[in-house]
A and B are shown apart, each in its own frame.
Chain A
Amino acid sequence: MSNSSTSDLLKPFKLKTKQQELLIRVSILCLVYILAFITRLFSVLRYESMIHEFDPYFNYRTTLYLTQHGFYDFWNWFDYESWYPLGRIVGGTLYPGLMVTAALIYRLLHFLRFAVHIREVCVLTAPFFASNTTLVAYFFGKEIWDSGAGLVAAILIAVCPGYISRSVAGSYDNEGVAIFALLFTFYLFVKAVNTGSLAWGLASAFGYFYMVSAWGGYVFIINLIPLYVLVLLITGRYSMRLYVAYNCMYILGMLLAMQIRFVGFQHVQSGEHMAAMGVFFLMQVFYFLDWVKHMLSDTKLFQEFLRITVTCAIAAGGIALGVGMASGYISPWTGRFYSLLDPTYAKDHIPIIASVSEHQPTAWSSFMFDFHILLFLFPAGLYFCFKRLSDATIFIVMYGLTSMYFAGVMVRLILVATPAVCLISAIAVSATVKNLTVLLRSKNKVAQIGSTKGTSSAKASSKASLDQSQPFQKNGAMALLFGAFYLLSRYATHCTWVTSEAYSSPSIVLAARGAHGNRVIFDDYREAYFWLWQNTPPDAKVMSWWDYGYQITAMGNRTVIVDNNTWNNTHIATVGRAMSSYEDEAYEIIRSLDVDYVLVVFGGVTGYSSDDINKFLWMVRIGGGVFPVIKEPDYLVNGEYRIDKGAAPKMLNCLMYKLSYYRFGEMMTEYGKPPGYDRARGVEIGNKNIKLEHLEEAFTTSNWIVRIYKVKPPNNRW
């Protein structure tokens, strides 16, 4: 009695199956949304709420400017503090999407009376957008496969290390919002292609606009989508839906993208964007032919007409492109674009690109590190995609394959491949698990009802009837299912471990284990930058290698000669030349650049290996690329880079060596080793008696990581 009465009572609350499914789906998505956010908070918990790395400091500084001075001033900002004496037109040389996004979030929160600091907004922007990306991944997965695949895709991308590496709290960089924008644009475009709706096409144009405003990687979109359209055309999948989607997206997206000053007219003038335009015209030709075909009933006549039109169209296109290139109206491909297509290009032609570690070709281990089981699921997913080919799956296959190629060329482009890999792997996981569960459930039904006809799907029932002869099928399915869950749980463990160990250190603050297992913090960078800010004249000019430029302007508030926006190679080469010259020669260059302080990073005391001495060969190479006076062999001994007694004499007396090791010879760094023992390179230095003539030590941080020298004024002539 009581049992039935409670069930009666609960009846109004009892959900239908569909509602239950919705509830489960929404709650999973909510949990994934939260998970994607909190898994990126390791660095905040372990260190503090701070901006990481190098580029994010510039973004933070500009966002600060934007919130303080408003959009108009930001757009017209001429920054005197960088690239002295050239300066930088900030509004015209950056992608403002990230800053505007953060500023809008900041404004919104303040409007809602949440008095947060802009720094917190900036720190948490990337995790917030990562959470949003999971939602997009869900809808994308739903669009190309089914909602199950969407859910799996959302979960996979929420914790995938390839994406986390660029979106932990504090890594306030363009990529943080750009991956969201990229995936969102693709999703909207696929949706537009699937529905043929002008509204979705318009939405994808706006998505593209946001992507253009956020990251230079938009070039990937503007080349991938035409390629995709081309493939559809070739495979005979041309449709009115495709026509509407592509034209709407291309025309509106192009017009919108021109509003970004940094991009400007590139869509019609640069070689990298010409593919999209070519496909656009091709599309019109196709449409025209379709129409003519519709009008002409005679096939022979049409064949003739087709030949003439295609020849004319190709000739016209070729001539237009040739004239454009020859007259210089269409600019040729840039070196960065070439270096993407050809992995060896940068090493030979653009040392400044090759000098950045994240531009190196990807090693297999980092694929494994960033993708883990996805690497194996990816081909499986491709198989499933090919098995059920549609416009949407063709898109995801193309996205996956091209981005995997780029991921192989450059380490940092693993990021672009991650969403595709996650989606395709999700298809594999979802399809496999679905098949296995269908197998299990139909088997149960077989046992219960005793009928070979399953009630679920025809396919499953046929499978069940086929496999009935196999005795251990149910157990096999169970085992496979457990195997899949085991793999997925390994994936989750791996992702958490990678996030916490590898991707959550801010690189401004260094942490090490002390002798007693306690955590030692080296906060030398900020010590030095804050010293610069507080104790040097406000108009002081600081020369350092370009890596530290953004940090010095953002944290030290001082003018720098070169910074991470490596737009002027000659200027950087001048600094490289100064660093690799003898002191008196360098002094001339330093004087001509009007430098007041020289900053070097030195890891010999702490064993910090990414210091300026280890980067020095790049300075020589970049300097030598512009000034042939600097020759790389002068700094090497038999092709070997050494700093000890056997080092090249030029090496032992160049400015960088002197500044790094000044008075280091008196220092005992390690017990049982001679004074002047460099712990980063594990050798005793070769020149212990360093005298400085034109510079003097102004400040050295407590662990010697940053050393700042003051440039002395020239001697009086009498």
Chain B
Amino acid sequence: MQIDLSSHIVKVYLTLKVENAGSTPTSEVLLSFPPTQADHLATVEALVTKGKRKKTTLVRLDVKPTELPDAPNDAKYFTIYLANPLKSGESATIEVLYLLTHSQEPFPAEIAQSESQLVYYRDSAWILSPYHIKQQTTFIKTPSTKVESFTRVEPSNRAGTEIKYGPYEDHLPYSFSPILIHFENNSPFAVVEELVREVEISHWGNLQVTEQYTLVHAGARHKGVFSRVDYQSRPTLNGASSLRYLLARLPPRVHSVYYRDEIGNISSSHLRTDSRKSELEIEPRYPLFGGWKATFVIGYGLPLQDFLFETSDDRRYLNFTFGCPLLETVVDKLTVKVVLPEGSKDPSAVVPFPVEQHLETKYSYLDVVGRTVVVMEKKNLVPTHNSHFQVYYTFKPIFMFAEPLMLASAFFLFFVACVAYLHIDLSIRK
């Protein structure tokens, strides 16, 4: 087991070697989490390696949350479904990756500008497991060598940025040994409290994306003064944990990018584009210290042909990334709105993970009946959620011409009215 604490998202890699000690073949492996961890669990993935030696390929396995009636202390379960049932006595190696958000608690909870940020991380020396554990070793990687304290569960030792727990032998199911690590983590705790992404499809060849962020620095709260002198003259010592800039990875061929907030354009941003990706580096109006907030909007246009495709049965679908384009950020609540062109019918969305969905109507320029909006909501997202989703709908191209025709006829009527006015004598007196 490896726990990576170098950013504010906790990454846990489990390499499980499971053995079927029972008599019947089984294809399910249970993972269990204590309830405190389960609340912060953003994603669980399981992989299995296939093939011999060099030609290994990773195959993704299905993971689903499961309720068990006799769970001790409200433990939460996830079931991994193996591709091939495990026969009695056989063993298999499964790679599990899960990410935890909001799991590092700043302590002290308030720091001044010149102090660095210390956090607590709580876990168990060995994993909570409904099975018997034969042997386990836990490696914990900290962002720097500065570790204030850590719980000793022998054998445990620390070397550099790594703390090693174990190896431990033979533990009973559901056994638990709490550990607490107090260490320095100056990576900014960038948390997007709410993100609304609106993807608007125009069949005239453009895909307009508008993203509204509510960004907060979720680390230790800033206390007392903010001194610009210190911040400018000694940036590494002062405000080490502050959030200075963010990097957003946008699709290639992005155009008309803007970055603004309620009171206008924010001039501190840079866009770098190449053929494979575009990177937008944005600086908030002010450096974010712990507890400080900033709201802003990023918008950009994309060529439609890169994202809109047609199925064989004459339906169209949009293929777009779901998550937040900012790197190393946690999104507490994400709403993705796909605005379909006016006149499109039968929308349906396909998302690789469970989301809440509903439909809305939006009126934009020259809309008469309104555009159908597919709204998808999900809570607690991490960058690994940046997978693609699809929205299918049917659309007749004739609708594309409705709005230009409307405009043209309005102008035509106007000119006809002018001509009529010039040629008709409306005066009462003759």
Residues on A facing B (Cβ under 8 Å): 47-48, 50, 113-115, 508-509, 521, 523, 526-527, 529-531, 533-535, 555, 663, 666-667, 696-702, 704
Bound together, the chains give a CA A535 to CA B267 distance in angstroms of 20
28 residue pairs from A and B, CB less than 8 Å apart: A50-B264, A113-B366, A113-B367, A114-B365, A114-B366, A115-B364, A115-B367, A509-B264, A523-B267, A523-B268, A526-B285, A529-B263, A530-B285, A530-B286, A531-B285, A531-B286, A534-B293, A534-B295, A663-B227, A666-B229, A667-B229, A697-B226, A697-B227, A698-B225, A699-B226, A701-B228, A702-B228, A704-B228
Contact call A697/B225, Cβ cutoff below 8 A: yes
Given A113-B363, A115-B363, A699 and B263 contact (CB-CB distance below 8 Å): no
Contacts of B227 in A (CB 8 A): 663, 697, 700
Q: With A48-B264, A527-B285 known to touch, is A534 a contact of B294 (CB < 8 Å)?
A: yes
The CA-CA distance from A531 to B289 in the complex, in Å, is 11
- Contacts known (A114-B366, A115-B365, A534-B292); A663 close to B229, Cβ less than 8 A: yes
Q: Are B267 and A521 in contact (CB under 8 A)?
A: yes
Q: B368: CB under 8 A from chain A? A: yes
Q: Mark B351-371, 1 if CB is under 8 A from A, else 0.
A: 000000000000111111000
Q: Which 5 A-B residue pairings sit nearest by Cβ, starting from the closest? A: A700-B228, A534-B293, A527-B285, A48-B265, A555-B263
Contacts of A700 in B (CB 8 A): 226-228
Q: How far is the CB of A703 from chain B (nearest CB, A)?
A: 9
What separation, in Å, do the CA atoms of A667 and B265 have in the docked complex?
29
Task: Return chain A residues, CB-CB under 8 Å to B266.
Answer: 523
B261 at the A interface (CB under 8 A)? yes
The distance in angstroms between the C-alpha atoms of A702 and B284, with both chains bound, is 12
Cβ of B224 within 8 Å of any chain A Cβ, yes or no, is yes
- In angstroms, Cα B366 to Cα A502, docked, is 38
Judge whether B261 and A530 touch: CB under 8 Å. Answer: yes
Known: A523-B285, A697-B227. A113 touches B293 (CB 8 A): no
Q: Is the CB of A526 within 8 A of B264?
A: yes
Interface string of B282-308 (1 = CB under 8 A from A): 000110000111110000000000000
* CA distance in complex: A531, B225 (Å): 14
Minimum CB–CB distance for B291 against chain A, Å? 8
- In the complex, A436→B402 CA distance in Å? 55
CA gap between A555 and B292 in the complex, in Å: 17
Q: A663-B227, A698-B226 are in contact. List 10 more A-B contacts (CB 8 A).
A: A47-B265, A508-B264, A509-B267, A527-B285, A530-B261, A530-B294, A531-B286, A535-B291, A666-B229, A696-B224
* Contact residues, B324-364 vs A (CB, 8 A): 363-364
Q: Which of B214-266 contact A (CB under 8 A)?
A: 224-229, 233, 261-266
Which residues of chain A come closer than 8 Å to B365, judged between CB atoms? 113-115
Q: Would you give the shortest CB distance from A161 to chain B, in whole angstroms?
A: 26
Determine how close the nearest CB of chain B comes to the CB of A225; give it in whole angstroms.
30
Q: How far is the CA of A523 from the CA of B283 in the complex (A)?
A: 13
Chain A residues lying within 8 Å of B225, measured Cβ to Cβ, are: 696-698
Give the residue of B265, B286, B293 whose beta carbon is less than 8 angstroms from that of A527: B286
Q: What is the bound-complex CA distance between A535 and B243, given in angstroms?
A: 15
Q: Which of B224, B263, B294, B295 contacts A526 (CB 8 A)?
A: B263
Give B322 Cβ to nearest chain A Cβ, in Å. Answer: 26
Report the separation of the CA atoms of residues A699 and B295 in the bound assembly, to the nearest whole angstrom.
18
Closest partner residue, chain A, to B364 (CB atom) = A115
| CB interface residues, B 171-216, toward A, < 8 Å | none
- Least CB distance from B45 to A in Å reads 35
In Å, the complex CA distance between A508 and B229 comes to 23
Minimum CB distance partner of B296 in chain A: A530
Shortest distance between the CB of A327 and any CB in chain B (Å) = 50
Cβ contacts under 8 Å, A534 to chain B = 292-295
Q: How far is the CA of A114 from the CA of B364 in the complex (A)?
A: 7
Most chain B beta-carbon neighbours within 10 Å: one of A113, A508, A509:
A113
Closest to A554 in B: B263
Bound-complex Cα distance A204 to B262 (A):
40
Q: How far is the CB of B210 from chain A (nearest CB, A)?
A: 12
CA distance in complex: A701, B284 (Å): 12
A535–B222 alpha-carbon span in the complex (Å): 11
The residues of A that contact B226 with a CB separation of less than 8 Å are 697-700
Chain A min CB distance to B171 (Å)? 47
- Closest chain B residue to A692 by CB distance? B225
| Residues of chain B within 8 A of A115, CB atoms compared | 363-365, 367
With the chains together, A533 CA to B261 CA distance in Å?
Answer: 12
Q: Could you tell me the distance in whole angstroms from the C-beta of B378 to the nearest C-beta in chain A?
A: 25
Give the distance in Å from the alpha carbon of A504 to the alpha carbon of B264 in the complex. Answer: 17
CB nearest neighbor in B for A47: B265
Residue of B267, B291, B365 contacting most chain A CB atoms (<10 Å): B267
How many Å lie between the Cα of A531 and that of B226 in the bound state?
A: 12
Residue in contact with B263 in the complex, picked from A530, A663, A698, CB distance below 8 Å: A530
Chain B residues within an 8 Å CB radius of A702:
228, 286
Is A535 touching B292 in the complex (CB atoms < 8 A)?
Answer: yes
Smallest Cβ distance from B362 to chain A, in angstroms? 9
A506 to chain B, nearest CB (A): 9
In the complex, which residues of chain A have a beta carbon less than 8 angstroms from the beta carbon of B229?
A: 663, 666-667
For the complex formed, measure the closest distance between the CB of A556 and the CB atoms of chain B, giving whole angstroms.
9
Q: Give bound CA distance, A666 to B291, whole Å.
A: 28
Smallest Cβ-Cβ distance to A119: which chain B residue: B264
Residues of A with C-beta under 8 A to B366:
113-114
Provide the bound-state CA to CA distance between A693 and B248, in Å.
43
A419 to chain B, nearest CB (A): 28
Shortest B155–chain A CB gap in Å is 47
Q: Using CB atoms, name the residue of chain A closest to B231.
A: A700
* CB closest residue in chain A, given B227: A697
Tell me the complex Cα distance, A416–B297, Å.
41
Q: How far apart sit A95 and B266, CA to CA, in the bound complex (Å)?
A: 32
The CA of A698 and the CA of B113, in the complex, are separated in Å by 11
In the complex, what residues of A have CB within 8 A of residue B267's CB?
A: 509, 521, 523
Find chain B residues with CB under 8 A from A667 CB: 229
Q: Report the separation of the CA atoms of residues A701 and B232 in the bound assembly, to the nearest whole angstrom.
A: 11
Q: Please, how many angstroms separate the alpha-carbon atoms of A667 and B291 in the complex? A: 28
Most buried by A among B263, B363, B366: B263
Most buried by B among A47, A50, A702: A702
Q: Does B363 lie within 8 Å of A535, measured CB to CB?
A: no
Identify which of B233, B264, B286 contacts A701 (C-beta below 8 A).
B286
- Bound-state CA distance A702–B244 (Å) is 12
Q: Which residues of A contact B295 (CB under 8 A)?
A: 534
CB closest chain-B residue, reference A116: B365
- What is the bound-complex CA distance between A115 and B286, given in angstroms? 31
CB distance from A460 to the nearest CB of B (A): 32
Q: Compute how far the CA of A631 lies from the CA of B397 in the bound complex, rounded to whole angstroms.
A: 77
For A698, what are the chain B residues with a Cβ–Cβ distance below 8 Å?
Answer: 225-226
CA–CA, A240 and B295, complex, Å:
65
Q: Kindly state the separation between the CA atoms of A666 and B229 in the bound complex, as whole angstroms.
A: 8
User: In chain A, what residue has the closest Cβ to B233?
Assistant: A666
Q: What's the Cα separation between A315 and B51 when bound, in Å?
A: 116
Contacts of B261 in A (CB 8 A): 530
Q: Is the CB of B368 within 8 A of A113?
A: yes
**Distance (Å) between the CB of A699 and the closest chain B CB?**
5
A534 to B261, CA, bound (A): 12
Q: Give Cα distance in the complex from A704 to B229, angstroms.
A: 9
User: Which of B226, B266, B366, B367 has the largest count of A CB atoms less than 10 A from its CB?
Assistant: B226
Q: A residues within 8 A CB of B291?
A: 535
The docked-state distance in angstroms from the alpha carbon of A527 to that of B368 is 40
Nearest-Cβ distance from residue A619 to partner chain B, whole angstroms: 24
* Chain B residues with CB under 8 A of A704: 228
Name the CB-closest residue of B to A114: B365
Write out the residue numbers on chain B whose beta carbons fall within 8 Å of the beta carbon of A523: 266-268, 285
Q: Which residues of A contact B363 (CB under 8 A)?
A: 113, 115
Given the known interface contacts A523-B266, A555-B263, the answer about A699 and B367 at a Cβ–Cβ threshold of 8 Å is no
Of A47, A113, A697, A699, the residue contacting B286 (CB under 8 A) is A699
List B contacts of A530 (CB < 8 A): 261-263, 285-286, 294
Complex: A509 Cα to B266 Cα, angstroms? 11
Q: How far is the CB of A58 from chain B (nearest CB, A)?
A: 14
Task: Give every chain B residue within 8 A of A696 (Cβ-Cβ).
Answer: 224-225
